Amino acid sequence: MNDHELVNAFLCKKAGAFEALAKRWKQSIYNFAFRYVRDRQLAAEVCQTTLVRLYEKGHSIRDPEQFSAWLFQIVLNLCRDELKRLKRRRAKLVDMDDMSMNSLERLPLVDVDSNGHPESQMITNNYNDLLNRALSTLNEEQRAVIILKSYQGLKFREIAEILKISENTAKSRMYYGLSALKKTFDKWNISKERLGI
């Protein structure tokens, strides 16, 4: 059963359709949330809440083609809420040890060696974490577009719909976001050659 058929089955309230749909989308939702908020626990909470919303309000979707856009809109809003809450909490706990907080945009973004570059061992062992840190250097608008395009493989039309912007704005954010990431990778001396890709 493909996505379209599964969404139709869910909208028709067929038995087991929700479980199948949730299992199929769970990983995508979690990945998006984790890339966006950079916190495993928060990402899991966002994933859980999104699935609950899907169960409660998913039947209001009129066009099955709009399913992914509808779902990612919920995920994005939840992620934004979580980040706002995190920032408020961090503002209250300014004096706390920053390293103890698994939050966004903390400084320094990466552990650097004496040359100002991320430690080479870290690159090979924790590239995924490093990648998330690089993504967190972008503003939220660019980050959302890059995650939705690069990791979720959505079309710019769908991204524009989710973010309620024009397609050209989405493409522009993609271009400038990738350019900014390239600068960050260069600054941290990360390249295809070093990663052995």
Task: Supply the DSSP symbol for 66.
Answer: G
Question: Nearer Cβ to other proteins, position 114 or 189?
Answer: 189
Question: Nearer Cβ to other proteins, position 44 or 93?
Answer: 44
How much of the chain is in helix, strand and coil states, percent to nearest 5?
A: 75, 0, 25
Tell me the C-alpha distance between 29 and 47, whole Å. Answer: 6
- Asked whether the beta carbons of 176 and 142 are under 8 A apart, the reply is yes
CB of 35 to other proteins, least distance (A): 9
Site of interaction with other proteins (CB under 8 A) = 18-19, 22-23, 26-27, 29-31, 34, 40, 44, 47-48, 51-52, 55-56, 127-128, 131-132, 146, 149-151, 155-156, 168, 171-172, 174-175, 178-179, 181-182, 185, 190-192, 195, 197
CB of 140 to other proteins, least distance (A): 17
Instruction: For residue 117, list its beta bridge partners.
Output: none
- Asked whether the beta carbons of 41 and 34 are under 8 A apart, the reply is no
Question: Nearer Cβ to other proteins, position 24 or 84?
Answer: 24
